[in-house]
Structure 1
Amino acid sequence: MDGTAGHPGRLLVLSGPSGVGKSTVVAELRRARPDVWLSVSATTRPPRPGERDGIEYFFVTREHFDDMVARGEFLEWAEFAGNRYGTPRGPVLARLSAGVSVLLEVELQGARQVRAAMPDAYLVFLAPPSWDELVRRLVGRGTEADEVIQRRLERARVELAAEDEFDTTLVNTSVQDVCGELLALMTSTARS
């Protein structure tokens, strides 16, 4: 989504509790609108089945990640469930200064860091249709041990309580509907 020539793009930050469907929404948005620039985060966690380096994430070692932190290369970063995640600063700032709107998918801690670093960022909270549905999604993944799932559920309660920190909330009852709402927000925030 290109902005007006000479005007910076807008930064849209998508966050919400683990298991709410952020990655699914981002994958659908990529499929439906390949012209939208989605920031790719770096992570120290191993790839899940089907994930590709440089597409879903940049998969890096903990040592490489630490080097990037030391050099100030992240717009935001956090440790979650024993792994680190971060948004490389350079590509985001380059797109914004070129007038291209950017979508970040980050956890709550990252959204707070982005808000502190870039107060004009527009924060979108992705909420589950219900607590029971969120639990079903987390347990249904089958990719994590029970203790990891329990930590994610405990954290999800805290993350849900932070909804008021965001500029708007979208309820993930339909991935296609959420994608449409995000695209509308990207268009409206790029012009405001």
Structure 2
Amino acid sequence: MSIDVLLSLMPPHVGAGSVIDWDATEKVWGSPFPTDYKEFVKHYGAGSIENFLAVLQPSPDGSGRMADETSVAQELWEELEGIPDVEAEPDRILAWAMDGTADLLCWMRTEDDPDEWPVVVYRRLEDAWQLYECGMVEFLTRVFRAEFPQNPLSSTAMWGVPTPLFLTRREATRIRESGRDPWEGVVE
């Protein structure tokens, strides 16, 4: 699914987006990243959707929040023995987001082509993993449109939200410092 669909549902604010040296970052991380994710980062950057889902961004030195959440996800994958009938070692799990209920949204790096990596979600409230045969942008779009048979996340904060709001931390802080609530109108 094209990033254009997501851009129309969730237009990025002025100043959103990050410029990343993907060649250097991928070398440090020892892995390429999916094209749709790179497009997401280009247009949005790291930040929050609906004051609920924190989308992570790789640091150029391989540390930081994405690395920390990936480590947690890999430990959970190993502890729960992944998903029945799905073969993947814990080191094949790479986190790209976490939500307000401590769900982890990850890729399962099963193919050489990162554009073929499915999304796997650890639902904290169920203490279980679920596989979704789509990429990050399609996953988010289908959550916003409520197109999965059931909500893949532990909360309905983004489920069926027709015009979700994305804010970088910098933009949320700027709005807050102006005396307004950056998430006004967002139902939690």
Counting helix residues as a fraction of each chain, which structure ranks higher?
A: 1
Do they superpose with TM above 0.5?
A: no
Structure with the larger strand share: 1
With normalisation by structure 2, the TM-score equals 0.32
TM-score by length of 1: 0.31
